[in-house]
Amino acid sequence: MIRLHNVSKTYYPRRGDSAQAVHALKDVDLQIPQGRIHGVIGLSGAGKSTLIRCVNLLERPTTGIVTVDGRDLTGLSGAALNEARHGIGMIFQHFNLLTNRTVFANVALPLELMGMQRGAIRERVTPLLELVGLADKASQYPAQLSGGQKQRVAIARALASRPKVLLCDEATSALDPQTTGSILALLRDINHKLGLTILLITHEMEVVKSICHRVSLISDGRIVEEAEVGDFFTAPRTRLGRDFLNDFLKLEPPRALIERLEEAPGKRSHPVVRLAFSGDAVSTPLISRLARECGVDVSILQAKVESIQERTLGLMIAELMGPPAKTREALAYLESHDLHVEVLGHVQRDD
């Protein structure tokens, strides 16, 4: 449904401006099938907004091709581009509503611009306001609404032209956690009911976890990692991915232990490991088996269970206590059992 092929975007300074050119996107490839919710996560300035704005050509890529619903948008301009954009809705962090128009008139605006008749507009707008739960607010003004309600108006407006794609740029970043939850539930509902393809930009792992099917991680204009959400939360492949995950899970060894961690194993050291269990491994008593079958004691430093979509994910930080030959055997045992093992380091034991 959405395809970015080798897309780069460079912002050049104006003539006479001594600023450097900014390479905001570099060779970005992205494919999002119809009906999927795809998240893009990255730090501030990584290029997230540039990327999403290239999808509807609010920013024109410097090089590369953007196709949406099989149409090459980069080959279009003027009226043809405008017409193609009706198939792409967009919502923003700060809602971008017109303050002097009622809720109804805000949602109606794109239809007025398309030249639709008043009766047809009413028929289109009324069910949209019902869909987003604002049927009783049609004649109110944005100033009378909460942030969550404003974003609902913006969602209804974005859906007015019956797009196949919805772009969301930090759509919940200005909202409190509870309101964020209700907006994400609405987006999930729309995705389900209308089969809408959603591309969503965020810097919050919570958003990725609760709504996305797949996620791309962007850093310095490049997509550095892409995975199904369950896989990303189990075993991110890049340093940045692990940083995002650890930040979110707040699952780290105690600081005093981190300071004592050494990279290489020593004669009397114990490995400290991060274990991620999914699937059958969650319900198998692996830790007690480890003690029984490998003769290794396990000291659990931290543990938690997360639900990620339909999957249950168990996470644990533990020290494996025993002689090196035994702990090596224990690591091999764990690795053979459908769980992801990462050795964080080794800690010397004098006792």
Ligand X SMILES: Nc1ncnc2c1ncn2[C@@H]1O[C@H](COP(=O)(O)OP(=O)(O)OP(=O)(O)O)[C@@H](O)[C@H]1O
> Which residues contact Mg ion by CB under 5 A?
49
Q: 22 or 303, CB closer to ligand X?
A: 22
Q: Which residue is nearest to Mg ion (CB)?
A: 49
Among 2, 3, 42, 347, binds ligand X (CB under 6 A): 42
**CB-nearer residue toward ligand X: 160 or 218:** 218
Instruction: Name the one range near ligand X by CB under 6 A: 29-37, 47-55, 308-316, 322-330.
Output: 47-55
Binding of residue 203 to ligand X (CB under 6 A): yes
236 binds, among ligand X, Mg ion, none (CB under 5 to 8 A by kind): none
In the complex, minimum distance from the CB of residue 213 to ligand X, in angstroms, rounded to a whole number: 21
**Closer CB to ligand X, residue 49 or residue 56?**
49
* Residue 11 neighbours by CB distance under 10 Å: 14
Give the nearer residue to Mg ion in terms of CB position, either 168 or 275: 168
Q: Which of 5, 8, 10, 11 binds ligand X (CB under 6 A)?
A: 11
Q: Which is nearer to ligand X, 88 or 318 (CB)?
A: 88
Q: Which of 2, 24, 97, 313 binds ligand X (CB under 6 A)?
A: 24
39, 49, 111, 225: which one contacts ligand X (CB under 6 A)?
A: 49
Tell me whether residue 48 or residue 152 sits nearer to ligand X (CB atom): 48
In this chain, which of 2, 32, 41, 50 binds ligand X, going by CB under 6 A? 50
Number of residues that bind ligand X (CB under 6 A): 12
* SS3 labels along the chain: CEEEEEEEEEECCCCCCCCCCEEEEEEEEEEECCCCEEEEECCCCCCHHHHHHHHCCCCCCCEEEEEECCEEHHHCCHHHHHHHHCCEEEECCCCCCCCCCCHHHHHHHHHHHCCCCHHHHHHHHHHHHHHCCCHHHCCCCHHHCCHHHHHHHHHHHHHCCCCCEEEEECCCCCCCHHHHHHHHHHHHHHHHHHCCEEEEEECCHHHHHHHCCEEEEEECCEEEEEEEHHHHHHCCCCHHHHHHHHHHHCCCCCHHHHHHCECCCCCCEEEEEEEEECHHHHHCCHHHHHHHHHCCEEEEEEEEEEEECCEEEEEEEEEEECCHHHHHHHHHHHHCCCEEEEEEEEEECCC
CB of 325 to ligand X, least distance (A): 48
Q: Which of 4, 41, 46, 290 binds ligand X (CB under 6 A)?
A: 46
22 scored as a contact of ligand X (CB under 6 A): yes
Beta bridge partners of residue 201, listed in sequence order: 40, 169
Binding residue (CB under 6 A) for ligand X from 3, 38, 48, 274:
48
Cβ neighbours of 7 (radius 10 Å): 23
Residue 157: CB minimum distance to ligand X, A:
22
From Mg ion, ligand X, none, interface partner of 345 (C-beta below 5 to 8 A by class): none
Scan residues 100-159 and list those touching ligand X (CB under 6 A).
none
168 CB-near residues (< 8 Å, 6+ apart): 52, 90, 91, 187, 198, 199, 200, 201
Q: Which stretch binds ligand X (CB under 6 A): 30-38, 46-54, 156-164, 329-337?
A: 46-54
∠120-126-130 over CA atoms, to 5°? 150
Q: Does 222 bind ligand X (CB under 6 A)?
A: no
Q: How far is the CB of 244 from ligand X (least distance, A)?
A: 13
**Site of interaction with ligand X (CB under 6 A):** 11, 22, 24, 42, 44-50, 203
